C-alpha cells in the first residue's frame, strides 16, 4: 500500500448551521488533495452528499461536483451553501416575520412573551434565553437570562410564575401537536406512530412557537430568496427547539433520539435571530443546478436528488467522473429522523415521502451501515472507469465504523490505496481505487497477516498506540489481502469475525502489552514488549516529531502552524501521523508565537543552545572537581569517578529526546543522571504521559534541570552530602500546564 501523508486543514472558523449533525471536517483538505490528483473543471462525484462544505469547497476550487442527496434537509443545506440569500434578504425575511399579526400582537412580541420571566435581582421583566428541564418533568427547574436593567445574568431557579407559564402552554399542546404530525404524515399513514414518537422530542412551548412560525411561512408573500432565507432561519430554530440539548454539555453530537436527563429549552425567537449569524455566508457563491442541467467549466454543484442506483447508468453515458470525493456516512438515527420531521414541517408531506424510511427505521447498526455502504460502492463500481480514485473522509472514527467502510469498499471491488490516521478525533483520510472486475472467491482471512501488520506498525512507531491505530493496521492487512469479507458471509457476521480476529491476535500473542485500566481491548494503549528484535536505535514517534519540528524551525525561523504540519506529515505518513497535541507540546517547549508565526526561543536557537550545553558541561565538571572526583568523558557521558569506579554518569541533553537517551545508557540507573533544560521538563512530562512504556523505563532514572546545576555551582560550601540533598529535593515537576493527551 502507498503511504499517503495526512493532509492538514483548518478548523472552520464558523461551524455553521446544524453543525452538530454535519460531519466535522477540516477546511482545505479536499481542495489540496484534488489539486494533486485532478485538473480543475473536471467532474467529481460525491455519492453520499453528507457534507455541504465538502462539495462547496471542491466547487469553489474550480471543479464540477455532482452530488447525490436523498435527505431533503441535506439537499437544502447544499443549496444554501452554494448560493446563500443575501444578508439583506435574511434581515428582511426576519423583519417581515416579526411584524406579522398574531391576534392584536406582533408575532415577535407574542413569541417572546412565551419566555417572559422576572429578574431575580431587580424584579424587571426579562426574556429567558433558555430554561433547564429534568427529563419527564412538567415544568422547568431553572432559567437563564441577561437583565438589561441591572446587568444580572446567568442561571437562576424558576419562580412559580415560570412554572405556571410553562403549564399554560402545555394545556393547549394537543392541537398544535396533531397539526405538527399532519404536516409530516397523513392521518391514516402507517408511519404516523413513528412521527408521533419523533415529535415527543419537542416540548409544548417550542412546538407551539415553531408551528406558529411555520404557518406564517406559508401565508407570508415573500420573494423566492426571502422565503429561502426564512426557511433557513426556521430550520435552525427547529434544531434548537428539540430536547436533544444536554446541559451541561461538552461537544454534543447526538446520534440517537433520546432526551438527556437534564436539558435546555431554548427561546425560539432568540434562536430565529441567532440564525442570522449562523447562516450568513460572506464568501462568493458557486453555480448550483439540479441534474441533468449542466454546469459551466469554471465549476459548481449539480444536485441529483435521489439514489445513486438510479443515477448510475445516466452518468456513465453523460459525463466522465475524474474522481470521487465524500464524507463516509455513519448511522445517525437522530439526524435522519429529525430530517424527515423537519422536511414535513417546512415543505409538506410530499417532501418527506422519499425519505420517510428514516422515520420507520429504529435501529441503524454497523451491519446496516456496511450493507448500505456496500450497495453504494457497488453502484459506484459500475459508474466509474478502472483506476478512478476515491478520496474518502471518515470523521468521528471508531473501530467498527472503519471496519464497516473498508469492508464495504473491498467487497465491491475497490482497492485500498492508502489510509492516513491522526487521532480518533480527526477524520481518517482514505484513498480507494476502482479495481478490476475480478470476482475472486475470498478466502477465510489469515490471522498471521494481521499479527504481522500490527507488530510492524508498533515496531515502526516505537511507542504504544491507541486501539484505533492497532485496529486500522489489522484492517489494512486484511484489505491488502482482499480477505475482509469471505464470500459466504453476510456483513454482520464478517464484521463480528474481523473484530474477534483482531482481539484474538492481541490477546493471544505475548509480544503485545495492553496499557489499560479498563480491560476491554479497545481501551487504553497497546505496545510491544521490548525484545532483541527491536532495534535499539529506532526512535519513537514522539522523538522523531521533536527532531523534525525543531529542524524545520531552525531552517524556517518564522512559520505558521500549517507550514509545520505540511513539512512534518510527509515524514510521518499513514498511521504514523502525529497528533496536534504532540506538535503543540514540542512547539510550546522550543518556540514562541508572535501573531500567527512560530519562532524558536532565543535560548533554543542552535548556537545558543550549544553554548549553554557546553556551559552546563563545564559546571558539572567543576562541581565534580570540588567534590574531589576524577572527571572522565565516555562518549556523551560525563563521568565522576572514584577509585577507578564511576560514581555518577551525566548525560546533558539540549532536547527532550529521553527515549533516545535511554537507549544509550550503559551505567546503572542509580548512578545515571539526565540533565535537561528547564524548558524541556513539560515536554518530557507530556511524553511520559502519552507513552506508559517510556514512563516505566524513565522511572528508575533521575532527571535534573540545568537550573539545579547552576544553583549547585554557586553554593559557597558544597559537600557530597549537600549535593545528594539538593538533587533529591528538586524533582522535575510534572507540568500542570494545558496539556492535550495524544
Ligand atoms: Zn435585573
Cis amide prior to 248 (ω within 30 degrees): yes
Task: Tell me what percent of the chain is helix, strand and coil, each rounded to the nearest 5.
Answer: 45, 15, 35
Give the Å distance between the CA of 95 and the centre of ligand 1. Answer: 27
DSSP 246: B
Give the Å distance between the CA of 114 and the centre of ligand 1. Answer: 19
Give 281 or 374, the one with higher predicted confidence.
374
- Kind of pairing, strands 591-594 and 43-46? unpaired
Give the Å distance between the CA of 146 and the centre of ligand 1. Answer: 8
Confidence of residue 701 (pLDDT cuts 50, 70, 90): very high
Give the Å distance between the CA of 121 and the centre of ligand 1. Answer: 5
- The pLDDT, as a whole number, for residue 282 is 67
**Spatial separation of the C-alpha atoms in residues 301 and 379, rounded to whole Å:** 21
For 121, what's the count of Cα atoms within 13 Å in the CB-facing half-sphere?
A: 11
Q: How confident is the prediction for the chain on average, in pLDDT?
A: 91
Contact 130, 267 (CB under 8 A): yes
Give the Å distance between the CA of 240 and the centre of ligand 1. Answer: 26
CA angle 51, 54, 55 (to 5 degrees): 95
**Spatial separation of the C-alpha atoms in residues 742 and 734, rounded to whole Å:** 16
Contact 305, 49 (CB under 8 A): no
Give the Å distance between the CA of 160 and the centre of ligand 1. Answer: 18
Give the Å distance between the CA of 153 and the centre of ligand 1. Answer: 8
- Kind of pairing, strands 300-305 and 64-69? parallel
Give the Å distance between the CA of 158 and the centre of ligand 1. Answer: 15
Give the Å distance between the CA of 119 and the centre of ligand 1. Answer: 5
Give the Å distance between the CA of 210 and the centre of ligand 1. Answer: 28
**Spatial separation of the C-alpha atoms in residues 291 and 327, rounded to whole Å:** 21
- The pLDDT, as a whole number, for residue 536 is 56
Our CA dihedral for 482, 487, 489, 490, rounded to 10 degrees, sits at: 90
Tell whether the model's pLDDT for residue 533 goes beyond 60. no
Give the mean model confidence (pLDDT) for residues 573-597.
96
Give the Å distance between the CA of 143 and the centre of ligand 1. Answer: 14
**Spatial separation of the C-alpha atoms in residues 698 and 702, rounded to whole Å:** 8
For 269, what's the count of Cα atoms within 13 Å in the CB-facing half-sphere?
A: 17
Give the Å distance between the CA of 164 and the centre of ligand 1. Answer: 21
CA angle 477, 377, 73 (to 5 degrees): 120
Q: Which residues, at least 6 apart from 165, have a Cβ–Cβ distance to it below 8 Å? A: 114, 116, 117
Q: Which residues, at least 6 apart from 210, have a Cβ–Cβ distance to it below 8 Å? A: 180, 202, 234, 237, 238, 241, 268, 345
Give the Å distance between the CA of 162 and the centre of ligand 1. Answer: 16
- The pLDDT, as a whole number, for residue 735 is 43
Closest to 727 measured CA to CA, from 704, 696, 698, 707:
704
Give the Å distance between the CA of 264 and the centre of ligand 1. Answer: 22
Tell whether the model's pLDDT for residue 406 goes beyond 90. yes
- H or E element in which residue 430 lies: strand 428-434
Q: Which residues, at least 6 apart from 600, have a Cβ–Cβ distance to it below 8 Å? A: 550, 553, 554, 557, 590, 591
Give 726 or 118, the one with higher predicted confidence.
118
pTM (two decimals): 0.94
Give the Å distance between the CA of 156 and the centre of ligand 1. Answer: 12
DSSP 56: H
**Spatial separation of the C-alpha atoms in residues 692 and 115, rounded to whole Å:** 53
Give the Å distance between the CA of 165 and the centre of ligand 1. Answer: 20
CA-only gyration radius of the chain, Å: 31
Tell whether the model's pLDDT for residue 739 goes beyond 60. no
Give the Å distance between the CA of 129 and the centre of ligand 1. Answer: 14
Closest to 4 measured CA to CA, from 468, 492, 430:
430
**Spatial separation of the C-alpha atoms in residues 694 and 666, rounded to whole Å:** 17
Give the Å distance between the CA of 122 and the centre of ligand 1. Answer: 4
Tell whether the model's pLDDT for residue 734 goes beyond 60. no
Give the Å distance between the CA of 127 and the centre of ligand 1. Answer: 11
Q: DSSP per residue over 541-588, as a string? A: HHHHHHHHHHHHHHHSSSEEHHHHHHHHGGGS-GGGPPPHHHHHHHHH
Give the mean model confidence (pLDDT) for residues 159-171.
95
Confidence of residue 554 (pLDDT cuts 50, 70, 90): very high
Tell whether the model's pLDDT for residue 105 goes beyond 90. yes
Q: Which grid cell sits at 22?
A: 454535519
Give the Å distance between the CA of 116 and the centre of ligand 1. Answer: 13
Give the Å distance between the CA of 142 and the centre of ligand 1. Answer: 16
From the centroid of its chain, how far is CA 458?
Answer: 24
Give the Å distance between the CA of 265 and the centre of ligand 1. Answer: 21
Give the Å distance between the CA of 150 and the centre of ligand 1. Answer: 4
Q: In 661-732, at which residue ranges do the beta strands (DSSP E only) sit?
A: 672-676, 702-705
Give the mean model confidence (pLDDT) for residues 257-284.
91
Q: Is 665 helix (H, G, I), strand (E, B) or coil?
A: coil
Give the mean model confidence (pLDDT) for residues 442-467.
91
Give the Å distance between the CA of 117 and the centre of ligand 1. Answer: 11
Give the mean model confidence (pLDDT) for residues 422-448.
86
- The pLDDT, as a whole number, for residue 740 is 44
Give the Å distance between the CA of 106 and the centre of ligand 1. Answer: 25
Worst-scoring range by mean pLDDT, 23-32, 299-308, 323-332?
299-308
Give the Å distance between the CA of 131 and the centre of ligand 1. Answer: 17
Contact 205, 169 (CB under 8 A): yes
Contact 185, 191 (CB under 8 A): yes
Give the Å distance between the CA of 248 and the centre of ligand 1. Answer: 24
Worst-scoring range by mean pLDDT, 471-480, 692-701, 710-719, 727-736?
727-736
Give the Å distance between the CA of 166 and the centre of ligand 1. Answer: 21
Give the Å distance between the CA of 207 and the centre of ligand 1. Answer: 29
Contact 34, 61 (CB under 8 A): yes
**Spatial separation of the C-alpha atoms in residues 34 and 415, rounded to whole Å:** 19
Confidence of residue 732 (pLDDT cuts 50, 70, 90): low
Reported as a single tens digit per residue, the pLDDT across 50-67 is 999 999 999 999 999 999
**Spatial separation of the C-alpha atoms in residues 460 and 577, rounded to whole Å:** 12
- H or E element in which residue 681 lies: helix 681-690
Give the Å distance between the CA of 118 and the centre of ligand 1. Answer: 8
Give the Å distance between the CA of 120 and the centre of ligand 1. Answer: 7
Give the Å distance between the CA of 215 and the centre of ligand 1. Answer: 34
Q: Which residues, at least 6 apart from 173, have a Cβ–Cβ distance to it below 8 Å? A: 204, 207, 208
Task: Give, in order, the Cα–Cα distances in Å from 552 to each of 394, 574, 598, 599, 605.
Answer: 30, 21, 11, 10, 12
Give the Å distance between the CA of 157 and the centre of ligand 1. Answer: 15
What whole-number percentage of the chain has pLDDT above 70?
96
Give the Å distance between the CA of 247 and the centre of ligand 1. Answer: 24
Give the Å distance between the CA of 97 and the centre of ligand 1. Answer: 29
Contacts by 370-373 with C-beta closer than 8 Å and gap 24+? 370/403, 370/404, 370/405, 370/407, 370/408, 370/491, 370/494, 370/495, 371/408, 371/491, 372/329, 373/328, 373/329, 373/404, 373/405, 373/408, 373/409
Give the Å distance between the CA of 151 and the centre of ligand 1. Answer: 6
Tell whether the model's pLDDT for residue 394 goes beyond 60. yes
Give the Å distance between the CA of 149 and the centre of ligand 1. Answer: 5
Give the Å distance between the CA of 502 and the centre of ligand 1. Answer: 61
Give the Å distance between the CA of 686 and the centre of ligand 1. Answer: 46
Contact 658, 687 (CB under 8 A): yes
Amino acid at each position: 500500500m502507498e503511504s499517503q501523508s495526512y493532509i492538514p486543514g483548518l478548523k472552520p472558523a464558523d461551524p455553521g448551521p446544524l453543525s452538530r449533525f454535519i460531519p466535522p471536517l477540516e477546511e482545505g483538505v479536499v481542495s489540496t488533495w484534488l489539486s494533486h490528483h485532478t485538473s480543475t473543471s473536471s467532474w467529481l462525484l460525491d455519492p453520499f452528499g453528507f457534507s455541504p462544505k465538502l462539495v462547496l469547497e471542491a466547487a469553489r476550487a474550480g471543479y464540477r461536483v455532482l452530488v447525490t442527496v436523498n435527505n431533503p434537509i441535506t439537499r437544502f443545506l447544499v443549496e444554501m451553501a452554494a448560493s446563500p440569500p443575501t444578508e439583506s434578504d435574511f434581515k428582511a425575511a426576519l423583519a417581515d416575520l416579526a411584524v406579522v399579526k398574531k391576534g392584536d400582537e406582533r408575532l415577535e412580541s407574542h413569541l417572546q412573551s412565551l419566555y417572559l420571566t422576572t429578574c431575580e435581582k431587580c424584579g424587571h421583566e426579562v426574556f429567558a434565553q433558555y430554561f433547564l428541564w429534568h427529563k419527564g418533568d412538567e415544568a422547568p427547574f431553572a432559567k437563564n437570562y441577561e437583565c438589561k436593567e441591572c446587568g444580572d445574568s446567568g442561571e437562576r431557579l424558576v419562580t412559580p410564575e415560570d412554572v405556571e407559564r410553562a403549564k399554560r402552554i402545555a394545556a393547549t399542546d394537543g392541537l398544535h401537536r396533531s397539526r405538527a404530525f399532519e404536516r409530516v404524515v397523513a392521518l391514516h399513514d402507517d408511519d404516523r406512530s413513528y412521527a408521533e414518537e419523533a415529535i415527543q422530542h419537542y416540548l409544548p412551548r417550542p412546538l407551539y412557537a415553531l408551528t406558529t412560525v411555520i404557518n406564517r411561512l406559508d401565508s407570508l408573500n415573500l420573494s423566492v430568496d426571502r422565503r429561502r432565507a426564512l426557511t433557513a432561519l426556521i430550520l435552525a430554530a427547529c434544531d434548537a427547539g428539540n430536547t436533544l440539548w444536554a446541559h451541561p454539555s461538552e461537544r454534543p453530537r447526538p446520534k440517537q433520539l433520546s432526551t438527556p436527563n437534564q436539558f435546555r429549552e431554548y427561546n425560539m425567537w432568540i434562536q430565529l435571530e441567532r440564525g442570522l449569524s449562523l447562516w450568513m455566508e460572506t464568501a462568493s457563491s458557486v453555480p448550483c443546478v439540479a441534474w441533468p442541467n449542466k454546469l459551466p467549466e469554471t465549476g459548481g454543484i449539480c444536485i441529483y436528488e435521489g439514489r445513486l442506483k438510479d443515477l448510475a447508468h445516466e452518468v456513465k453515458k453523460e459525463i466522465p467522473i475524474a474522481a470521487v470525493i465524500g464524507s463516509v456516512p455513519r448511522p445517525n438515527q437522530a439526524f435522519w429522523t429529525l430530517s424527515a420531521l423537519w422536511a414535513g414541517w417546512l415543505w409538506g408531506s410530499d417532501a418527506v415521502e422519499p425519505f420517510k424510511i428514516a422515520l420507520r427505521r429504529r435501529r441503524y447498526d454497523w451491519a446496516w451501515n456496511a450493507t448500505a455502504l456496500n450497495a453504494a460502492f457497488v453502484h459506484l463500481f459500475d459508474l466509474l472507469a478502472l483506476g478512478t480514485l476515491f478520496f474518502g473522509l471518515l470523521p468521528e472514527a471508531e473501530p467498527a465504523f472503519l471496519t464497516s467502510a473498508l469492508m464495504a469498499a473491498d467487497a465491491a471491488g475497490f482497492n485500498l490505496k492508502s489510509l492516513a490516521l491522526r487521532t480518533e478525533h480527526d477524520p481518517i483520510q482514505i484513498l480507494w481505487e476502482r479495481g478490476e472486475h475480478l470476482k475472486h472467491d475470498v478466502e477465510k482471512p489469515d490471522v498471521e497477516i494481521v499479527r504481522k501488520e500490527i507488530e510492524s506498525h508498533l515496531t515502526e512507531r516505537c511507542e504504544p498506540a491507541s486501539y484505533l491505530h492497532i485496529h486500522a493496521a489489522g484492517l489494512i492487512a486484511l484489505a491488502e489481502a482482499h480477505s475482509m469479507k469471505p464470500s459466504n458471509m453476510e456483513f454482520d457476521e464478517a464484521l463480528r469475525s474481523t473484530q474477534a480476529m483482531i482481539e484474538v491476535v492481541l490477546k493471544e500473542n505475548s509480544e503485545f502489552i495492553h496499557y489499560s485500566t479498563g480491560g476491554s481491548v479497545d481501551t487504553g494503549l497497546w505496545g510491544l514488549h521490548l525484545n532483541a528484535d527491536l532495534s535499539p536505535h529506532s526512535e519513537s514517534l514522539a522523538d522523531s516529531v521533536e527532531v523534525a519540528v525543531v529542524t524545520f524551525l531552525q531552517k524556517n525561523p518564522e512559520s505558521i502552524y500549517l507550514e509545520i504540519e505540511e513539512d512534518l506529515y510527509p515524514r510521518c505518513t499513514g498511521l504514523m501521523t502525529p497528533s496536534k497535541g504532540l506538535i503543540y507540546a514540542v512547539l510550546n517547549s522550543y518556540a514562541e508565537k508572535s501573531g500567527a508565526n512560530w519562532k524558536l526561543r532565543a535560548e533554543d536557537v542552535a548556537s545558543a543552545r550549544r553554548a549553554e550545553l557546553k556551559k552546563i558541561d563545564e559546571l558539572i565538571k567543576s562541581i565534580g572537581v570540588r567534590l574531589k572526583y576524577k572527571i572522565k568523558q565516555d562518549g556523551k557521558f560525563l563521568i565522576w569517578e572514584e577509585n577507578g569506579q564511576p560514581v555518577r554518569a551525566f548525560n546533558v541533553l539540549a532536547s527532550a529526546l529521553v527515549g533516545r537517551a535511554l537507549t544509550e545508557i550503559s551505567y546503572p540507573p542509580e548512578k545515571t543522571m539526565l540533565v535537561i533544560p528547564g524548558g524541556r521538563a513539560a515536554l518530557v512530562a507530556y511524553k511520559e504521559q502519552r507513552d506508559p512504556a517510556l514512563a516505566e523505563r524513565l522511572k528508575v532514572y533521575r532527571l535534573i534541570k540545568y537550573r539545579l546545576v547552576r544553583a549547585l555551582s554557586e553554593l559557597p560550601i558544597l559537600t557530597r552530602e549537600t549535593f545528594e540533598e539538593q538533587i533529591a529535593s528538586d524533582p522535575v515537576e510534572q507540568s500542570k500546564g494545558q496539556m492535550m493527551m495524544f
